[in-house]
Chain A
Amino acid sequence: MQVQSSQSISVRTSEDVVAVRQLVRKGSLLLGFTIVDQTKIVTASSELARNLLIYGGGGVAIVEIVQNGGRSGLRLTFEDQGPGIPDIELALRDGYSSGTGMGLGLGGAKRLSHDFEIDSAPGKGTRVSIVRWKAL
């Protein structure tokens, strides 16, 4: 996978979550995503950026335009140095939330993207990376 361009935003406040959404929307427009694809990836970014803020205590969001074998896509990475997730499987389960949300954000973001990777351990922070490819 080749990275063509990369931008990052530090997420510390709920205004930064808006900034992440706007950056992702800009990237998806640049790639020529359909309106449905745009909405999906922007919504996924909103969920993950908010998780970063609420559960990770803030962190960084990286938005990259990537290419792989003629396909182009948008890769979003969210990294925090927060408490980490003790049970990833549980965190991904619909309806489970350690906070006050609906418990659909993480699993929803996974369903809204093509590739989904999560790396987390207690005390080690959390790193979530998703890719949505442009429909050919």
Chain B
Amino acid sequence: MSLLVTGSAIVAQQGDPLLFDVDLTAVGIVVGKVLVIFAFLLVATMFMVWFERKLISDMQNRIGPNLAGPFGILQTLADGIKFFFKEDLIPDRAQRRVFILAPFLSFVPAFLLFVVIPFGGDFNDGNAGVVTIFGRETFLQVADPPIGVLFILAMSSLAVYGAMLAGWSSGSKYPLLGSVRQSAQMISYEAAMGLAIIAVVVKTGSLSTHDIVVTQAGEGLGGILPNWGVLLTLGVPFVIFVIAATAELNRPPFDLVEAEQELVGGFHTEYSSIRFALFFLAEFMNTVTMSAIFVTLFLGGPAGPVLFGPGWLWGIIWFALKVFVFLFMFVWFRATLPRLRYDQLMDLGWKVLIPLSLGWILLLVALDLAQDQNWNLFAVGIGAAVVFFCAAMLLRAAVRSGQATRHTLEVPD
């Protein structure tokens, strides 16, 4: 993988240079980064709740929260404090221990997910995102395990348990329906999401989130376009990932698990007080984290040009801006789209997204191979496209034949 060694010898050694020589300073820096991430995530979550409420109010011709603090920005804090003082109800029929454990099961993975996200650093001029803190060179991310992407998948799967066990342990019917929906939805969309990520991994040749960003920081087509994952993978895996991640997050239009109009509150119907708030926070924290993952995998993470001043600062600025775009997108989805039905959700996952991402991986690999073997790229491209199209049509025909149709009714006189 020649792309990986973009001028920096450090990267070739794999991993964060800080950890080559662990001493007290290194430990201090790591603890410092953990604290910063923790604080950042909490603040970002608070901001996200406020941002969503404010933006959706705008889209719906309302004012939204405007009393607590300037522009109502402290509304989330006020709500959080209120939740602490609410009565904490545990239903008689609940499985007490699981019921109490469940909110934490969805809250903790939301935090853990963020540790592998590179949130800053200077990726220009072959710098590979290395910054110097207290005389030590390091990455601006808490950890850079060589299996970073797998860690993302693992953590997002773990988060399912929170909602699933919450619904099951409530000892109530609506939450149970919610948790059944949850497990089915997560399993279906995790597959599509994983396959979309594989496309990126194939193109960048690494499972480490840092290396993925370094690759994307390189020069792209024609030296003008960035070398971002969304372009490397020709767009489609990005779209699949957006859809699958939205489903994974239970955001509208895939919020079947909480579907207020159907299941009252879904898995958290029986939760009150701060336990409910934990679910709520976890959901919004996941939204922020998932946006960060989008940026890392497809939009080059913190990589971006340095306009003036220090390079590491621009890394953080670009990262925040890119994440913001996705936060906006999620709110926009919610304001616009009606909710899918359970079977339609499954159909979309299994009959569209998974075959499409599988096919796309084959296409990407074929093109890569052709490049390596010096085959005629054009011919390979055409051939692959034809195969792709035929398979898509076959699948479409199969899906169509299984679908219910509308019938015109007979009208009596």
A binds B: no
User: Which residues of A are at the interface with B, using a C-beta cutoff of 8 A?
Assistant: none
